[in-house]
Structure 1
Amino acid sequence: MNLDEDLDYEPNRFDRDEVIALCKATIDNVLGEYIFDSNLAPNWNTKIKHTILKEIIKQQKPFKHCITCLIMQKNGAGIHAANSAYWDVETDDSISVRWESDHMYCMVSVFAFAV
C-alpha cells in the first residue's frame, strides 16, 4: 500500500460507495427508459437483485448479504421505505438506493453482515 493512500482503507470492509454505484448502474441497466409494466416488474426485480448479488460476491469479502428491491409505478402516490436491523455497528452495514424515472420508482437495499 502506498503511504499516500487513505490509511483507513480496510480490504475486508463493506465499501458503501462502491455498492451504491453498483446498485445505481444495475438499476439503470435493467430499467433504463422502460415504462412501468406490472407483468415485467417481477422479472426486473429478480434481475436487479441477482445482478447486484453476483457482483458483490465477486468482491470476495467476508459478509453475508441480503438484498431487497421494490419497483413501483409512478402514478402520483408517494413512496416511503425504511429498514431497521440489530447488528454489530463495527462490522455490519447497509445502504439504500432510490432511483426514479418518469414512469416508476425503484428502491434497493443491501445489507452486509460480517461472517
Structure 2
Amino acid sequence: MGIVDPRLRNRAVVPEQHEIASRNVRVLTAAQPLGEANSPIIVSLVGLVGQHLASEPAGATLPVSLAVMRRFGRRTGYVAGATLGVVAGLLATIGIVQTSFLVF
C-alpha cells in the first residue's frame, strides 16, 4: 500500500468521480481492440489499393521498405524506419503538448 498517497487513503470516492472512472474504463476497454486491429487492416488495404493503382499487379504489395533495404542494407533500413517512428512519435507528442490536432 506504499503507492497510495496517505492523504487520500481515508477520503471517500465521490460518486461522480466513480461514474467518470467507470465510463473511462469502458471506453478504453472498447478502444483497445480497435486500436490493435488497425495494423492488419492497413496492411490489407495497402495491398488492395496498391493492386488497384499499380500498373503491374505483381508489384502492388511490394513494400517500400524492401526497396530501401535492398539498396542500403537491412541495418540501414531498420535504423531509417526506427528513426522515422521516433520522429513521428515526437511530432505527435508536440501536437499533444501544444493541444494542436493539426500537428498531432
TM-score (norm 1): 0.26
TM-score (norm 2): 0.28
Larger Rg: 2
